[in-house]
Chains A and B, each alone.
Chain A
Amino acid sequence: MTNASLIDFTLYLADSTLILGQRNGDWCGHGPVLEQDIAITNVTLDLIGQSRSFYQYAAQLIGNGCTEDQLAYWRNEREFKNALLCERPNGDWAQTILRQTFFSFYQRELFTQLLHGADTTLSAIAEKSLKEVRYHCRWSSEWVCRLGDGTQESHERMLAAVENLWPYVGELFVAAPYETALQIDTATLKSNWMDAITAVFTEATLPPPSLTSTFMHTGGKNGQHTEALGYLLAELQYVQRSYPGCEW
């Protein structure tokens, strides 16, 4: 394992949680009902907390006075390694919830692997985050079932969300060079994730998903993103770029 691979992988974990957190944060004050507004922002807080842990570790590995803020606010689009799924627009509640379900179940499988990985800091962050992730899995997948097995309108919206987001899940299981270097077992990840998602879809009365029948986008893990990320970063980084080093 080279240090460069460890840094890249840590940044991949940091960027993915930060970008999804930033996306979810847009729901603050706009949730469908108060309790769910609070729920999605609580999930967001956890994601941002996890991203801070990963950024702090990456900064420590990089050294030379690097800080978590520099990594979050002063890198450009092509330097971000987040999974494409995380940057996809919120759409309606169905799309946001489905995106969260896909990502939370992925986190659950990946972090479970990291528990037994060679790097003790990543194991520690994974162990702490898993407590939160399990909660997110339950909450978000319950919503997929509620909407999928709800009214005709909610069912159709969930189907549309699946159609929109499914082409972005394949990337999660295509190992980036830094994942290969760290011996992340993407084949096991994929099969465990598919089993879990298939169970959710069955309960939600959604057609069983398939990872082979659809074209899958890739690139996020290596810095090639969809158009959506640039706009998101512009908003996320604006204050630090305009007033470098400002604090409150």
Chain B
Amino acid sequence: MRAIAMDDNELQDCYALLGTIHDPEIPVLSILDLGIVRNIELLHSLQDTGHIRVTITSTYTGCPAMDTIATLIRMELLKKGYKTIEIITAIAPAWTTDWMSEDGKEKLKRYGIAPPDKRFEIPTDGIACPQCGSSNTRLLSEFGSTACKSLLQCNDCAEPFDYFKCH
């Protein structure tokens, strides 16, 4: 993501605004936490003609939330007063869970989803339970409720939970 120039207040406002938009399928995460906002370009400021370009990328190619997310971004920017809004979907570089913010990972855990963990590139038994913290867990299915998650169960507290896969 492009570094934000500290004196560019309007651009910072835009980032803050996009930080209020949440993933429709994992509402605890903002689209900034997920790392799918790759760039915001302020082509003409609000005082001028209000022209902005946002580049996003999908997590998985078939993520059904992408169209909704693009619409949500457009709605927020329209409300803010932008007249010309371009939303570009970039394919490269390919999205990776490395782009998820540390804050995002904490939020996931509190929400009951085990965050991506580099030690478990391939989902397997032993991923820490987000409820009780135990590593005495077992993999139920490599595929879970959305493309980005696997399903596990804790052997200690018996709670089934999702694991956000490394990608």
Given A35-B141, A43-B143, A49-B61, 5 extra CB contacts under 8 A: A36-B141, A49-B60, A124-B94, A128-B61, A132-B60
Q: How far is the CB of B150 from chain A (nearest CB, A)?
A: 10
Main SS class of interface, A: helix
Given contacts A35-B140, A38-B143, A46-B147, contact A52 B62 (CB under 8 A): yes
Q: Which one of A38, A39, A47, A120 lies within 8 Å of B62 (CB-CB)?
A: A47
A238 within 8 A of B: no
Whether A49 and B58, one on each chain, are in contact in the complex, defined by CB atoms closer than 8 angstroms, is: yes
Q: Identify the B interface with A (CB < 8 A).
A: 58, 60-64, 91-95, 122, 140-145, 147, 151, 167
Least Cβ–Cβ distance between A199 and chain B, in angstroms: 18
User: Given A128-B61, A131-B167, A38 and B94 touching (CB < 8 A)?
Assistant: no
Rounded to whole angstroms, the CA-CA distance of A39 and B146 in the bound complex is 10
CB pairs A–B below 8 angstroms (28 shown): A35-B140, A39-B142, A39-B143, A42-B143, A45-B60, A45-B62, A46-B60, A46-B62, A49-B60, A49-B61, A49-B63, A50-B61, A52-B61, A53-B91, A120-B92, A124-B92, A124-B94, A127-B92, A127-B94, A128-B91, A128-B95, A129-B61, A132-B60, A132-B147, A138-B122, A138-B142, A139-B142, A139-B143
Contact status B141-A38, CB under 8 Å: yes
Residues of B within 8 A of A74 (CB): none
What is the minimal beta-carbon distance from B90 to any residue of chain A, in angstroms?
8
Q: Please measure, in the bound complex, the distance between the C-alpha atom of A66 and the C-alpha atom of B103, giving whole angstroms.
A: 42
Expressed in whole angstroms, the minimum distance between the Cβ of B94 and any Cβ of chain A is 4
Asked if A48 lies at the interface with its beta carbon under 8 angstroms from chain B, I say: yes
A56 to B145, CA, bound (A): 27
The 4 A-B pairs at the shortest CB distance, nearest first, are namely A49-B62, A49-B61, A124-B92, A35-B141
Q: Tell whether, in the assembled complex, residue A124 and residue B141 are in contact, meaning their CB atoms are under 8 Å apart.
A: no
Contact digits for A87-125, partner B, Cβ 8 Å, 1 yes 0 no: 000000000000000000000000000000000110111
Docked CA distance A185–B64 (Å): 34
Knowing A121-B91, A127-B92, A131-B167, the reply to whether A38 touches B63 (Cβ < 8 A) is: no
A135 CA / B148 CA spacing, docked (Å): 11
Q: How many residues of A contact B (CB 8 A)?
A: 27
- Chain B neighbourhood of A46, CB < 8 A: 60-62, 147
Measured CA separation A46–B147 after assembly (Å): 8
Given contacts A46-B147, A124-B91, contact A39 B141 (CB under 8 A): yes
Please give me the residue from chain B that is nearest to A139 by CB atom: B142
Q: Which residue of A lies closest to B167 (CB)?
A: A131
Query: Given A45-B147, A128-B92, A50–B141 Cβ distance below 8 Å?
Result: no
List the B residue with the shortest CB-CB distance to A128.
B94
> What is the minimal beta-carbon distance from B97 to any residue of chain A, in angstroms?
10
Contacts of B64 in A (CB 8 A): 45
Chain A positions within 8 Å of B145 at CB level: 38
Contact status B147-A53, CB under 8 Å: no
Q: Which residue of A lies closest to B151 (CB)?
A: A35
Query: For the complex, what is the distance from the CA of A242 to the CA of B92, rounded to whole Å?
Result: 37
Beta-carbon nearest neighbor of B148 in chain A: A42
Q: Is the CB of A132 within 8 A of B61?
A: yes
Question: Do the beta carbons of B62 and A50 come within 8 Å of each other?
Answer: yes
A3 to B: closest C-beta gap in Å: 20
| Cα-based distance from A138 to B123 in the complex (angstroms) | 11
Compute how far the CA of A131 lies from the CA of B142 in the bound complex, rounded to whole angstroms.
14
Contact call A53/B141, Cβ cutoff below 8 A: no
| Chain B residues whose C-beta falls within 8 Å of the C-beta of A53 in the assembled complex | 61, 91
A34 to B74, CA, bound (A): 37
Which residue, of B63, B64, B91, B167, has the highest number of chain A Cβ atoms within 10 A? B91
Which residues in A have their C-beta under 8 angstroms from that of B94? 124, 127-128, 131
